[in-house]
Amino acid sequence: MLLKELTELTGVSGNEDEVREFIKKEALLYATEIKVDSMGNLICYKKGKSSKYKIMLSAHMDEVGFIVTGHKEGVIKFSPIGGIDERILPGTRVLAGDKKIPGVIGSKPIHLQGREERGNNIKLKEMYIDIGVEKKEELEKLVALGEYIAFYSKYTEFGDGCIKAKALDDRVGCAILLEILKESYQFDLYACFTVQEEVGLRGAGVAAYAVNPDLAIVLEGTTCSDVPDVKEHEYSTVMGQGAVLTIMDRTSYPNKKLVEFIYNTAIKNNIPAQYKKTTTGGNDAGRIQLTHGGVVVASLSVPCRYIHSPVSVMSKKDFESCLMLVKKVLNELSGDENIMSSFKD
């Protein structure tokens, strides 16, 4: 499992270079051909034995983060990249700029807040990043306008087979995809590590247009809401209950026959699996599905608590379930290529 290395890399949307180079070195061991397109997507092609069909697996390399928008009184002003809950930010540790300078997100301390201020959440526009430099000129030299800022969070294993890390959305998908590349199939496999998913699914559409696949499966880290004060009927997914299949979300409507096939494959092979019970959010499947004349898609995910924060949490068991299920599904499709045509009937 390469999750430790992958999650500790920085790859805010639009600045995925470090993640891409790491994945590229790993993928070179198994791929037939590798290319990077003009968007920055990493497309790894593995030739099949018959090449009758093209299957695309997709996982995005980027993570949520921030960008430098200004310097003021020895601190950095910033804006978010991707969906981040601003309520979690005060006191959060970050790595600022190309030099990865340690910093902390600060705001007016509670001792100086008036009674009315204490009753309200601090807004992002009232926050700043402190890297311990007083002079504006020195600050500008260290972290320039337009440079990126990432959460600073170490990979940690704890509890009953749990992992805490940043960027589990979607480095879990990247880790699974690297494992899949080690296998060989009848069909041509395109393992696509995409960019800018967190700011509008931008990379996936370009990658899918280039590949023009017969079928695509998106590998993700998805929301998990089995926590206190959330009613059971409002749970999206449950950590520890296996790989997650999406029925519908804000961006895509996965192919029902393909989703059913994946779920039945899980049951047949005693692999824990569950359906996502909310339709909020979205992922690269939304762009891939609409490419060319339309693509048969499905999303398969690992449930992760507290995504889009520096302390996302997942279960190793769910990761293994997702990896095992992807392998079984691809083996089924490789063993009987006629199954492919049945999804379009």
**228 has pLDDT over 90:** no
List the beta bridge partners of residue 190: 45, 56
**240 has pLDDT over 70:** yes
* Total domain count, the chain: 2
Q: Is residue 227 part of a domain?
A: yes
- Assess whether 316 and 236 both reside in one domain: yes
CATH of the domain at 181: 3.40.630.10
Question: In 3D, which of 237, 235, 227, 233 has the Cα closest to residue 302?
Answer: 237
CATH of the domain at 139: 2.40.30.40
- Assess whether 286 and 196 both reside in one domain: yes
Task: Tell me the C-alpha distance between 36 and 192, whole Å.
Answer: 10
Burial of 24 (0-12, 13-18, 19+ CB in 10 A): middle
Task: Tell me the C-alpha distance between 208 and 14, whole Å.
Answer: 18
**339 has pLDDT over 80:** yes
Question: In 3D, which of 206, 303, 294, 200 has the Cα closest to residue 246?
Answer: 303
Cis-peptide, bond into residue 170, ω within 30° of zero: yes
Task: Tell me the C-alpha distance between 249 and 245, whole Å.
Answer: 11
Among candidate residues 118, 151, 184, the one where a domain is terminated: 151
Position 108 scores a pLDDT of 67
Q: Is residue 41 part of a domain?
A: yes
Range of the domain at 310: 3-63+166-342
* Mean pLDDT for all residues in the chain: 93
Q: Is residue 158 part of a domain?
A: no
Position 174 scores a pLDDT of 98
Q: Is residue 107 part of a domain?
A: yes
Task: Tell me the C-alpha distance between 309 and 168, whole Å.
Answer: 9
100-to-9, 136, 152, 167 alpha-carbon distances in Å: 11, 18, 9, 16
- Assess whether 105 and 50 both reside in one domain: no
Contact 161, 307 (CB under 8 A): no
- Assess whether 259 and 202 both reside in one domain: yes
- Assess whether 87 and 233 both reside in one domain: no
- Assess whether 27 and 112 both reside in one domain: no
Check residues 112 and 48 and name the one with the higher pLDDT: 48
* 19 CA to centre of own chain: 12
Handedness of CA 65, 200, 173, 308 (dihedral sign): positive
Please write the tens of the pLDDT for every residue from 172-200: 999 999 999 999 999 999 999 999 999 99
- Assess whether 54 and 69 both reside in one domain: no
- Assess whether 56 and 142 both reside in one domain: no
Portion of the chain with pLDDT greater than 70, in percent: 98
| pTM (2 d.p.) | 0.94
- Assess whether 131 and 209 both reside in one domain: no
Position 117 scores a pLDDT of 66
* Length reported for the chain: 345
- Positions annotated as catalytic residues are 197
